[in-house]
Structure 1
Amino acid sequence: MTLEERQSWIQLVVSVVLYGVYVAVILRQAASMPLVDVDYVPAMLWTIGGAIVTAIVVSIAVGIVTPRSDQKKDVRDRDIARVGDRVGQSFLVIGTLGALLLAIVEADYFYIANALYLGFALSTVLGSITRVVIYRRGF
């Protein structure tokens, strides 16, 4: 397994876990109040920041223990990264368009922010899944 594939797995796991934590925190708060009244901003900022820091720290740790021969990038790694990024970017665009539509109909900020966050999360998760599948099965 190359370092690039390991980093795709790290991004996938970290994104799924921390977005799940965010959803759990929001739903726990929503048990006692309407969903739009939930104080989502701190949970959103902490889980986004936590995902970034966790992915960086774990990637550095994995890079340290990965043999030098597995750290070399080749053309295949670049092509896989490009395809994964394209898949991820498509979901980022979909999430952004969803947030734009919510803003047009003057939806609550809660829904707009969560549409954007869901778009970012899906972008990372599905881009990572695409990279892992291509590494495992080929183009």
Structure 2
Amino acid sequence: MSYEEKGVWVYLVVSAGVYIAYVAVIIGQAAGGPLADVAYVVPFLVSLGVSIVAAIIGRIVVEIAKPSDDYSSDARDRQINRFGEARASWFVIGGSLLALALTMLEQPYFWIANAIYLGFVLSAVVGSIIKLVAYRRGIDPSW
């Protein structure tokens, strides 16, 4: 497994795991009440910080456990990265459009912020899955 592929695995696990934890905290704070009334800003910012730190630590731990032979990206790594990012970027666009619609409908900030966050998380998760499939099966060279 290449250095870049290991990084994609870490990114997938961290992105999904931290978001699931964030949602659990928010639902726990709501305690049956309206979600829009939850104090979401601190958990939101903490989840972003934890994602960054966990990705760095995860990458280090993976390299200690199973060191890579080469730490440079080759043409295949770059092509797979472009392929995955091009397809996953639609989720960021979708989250942004949803946030724009929520803003125009004058919905609470909670829903607007979480629409954007969900778009980023879906982009990260779907992009990672696409990249991992491409690492295993390859991609059409005509792309």
Instruction: Give the structure-2-normalised TM-score.
Output: 0.90
Q: What is the deviation of 1:32?
A: 4.3
Separation (CA, whole Å) in 2 of partners of 1:98 and 1:32: 25
SS of residue matched to 1:66? coil
Match of 1:20? 20
Taking only aligned residues, the RMSD between alpha carbons, in angstroms, comes to 1.3
Alignment map for 1:1-139 (pairs within 5 Å): 1-64=1-64, 65-67=66-68, 69-139=69-139
2:15 alignment partner AA = S
Separation (CA, whole Å) in 2 of partners of 1:72 and 1:2: 9
Q: What is the deviation of 1:11?
A: 0.4
The gaps in structure 2 that reach 5 residues or longer are none
Q: What is the deviation of 1:71?
A: 2.3
2:8 alignment partner AA = S
Corresponding pairs, count = 138
Q: What is the deviation of 1:126?
A: 0.8
CA deviations on 1:4-60 (whole Å, 9 max, x unpaired) are 110000000001110000000011111243211101111111111101111012213
In proportion to residue count, which structure has more helix?
A: 1
SS of residue matched to 1:106? coil
CA deviations on 1:78-115 (whole Å, 9 max, x unpaired) are 00000111122111111011100100111110100000
The gaps in structure 1 that reach 5 residues or longer are none
Instruction: Give the structure-1-normalised TM-score.
Output: 0.93
1:127 alignment partner AA = G
2:59 alignment partner AA = S
1:48 alignment partner AA = L
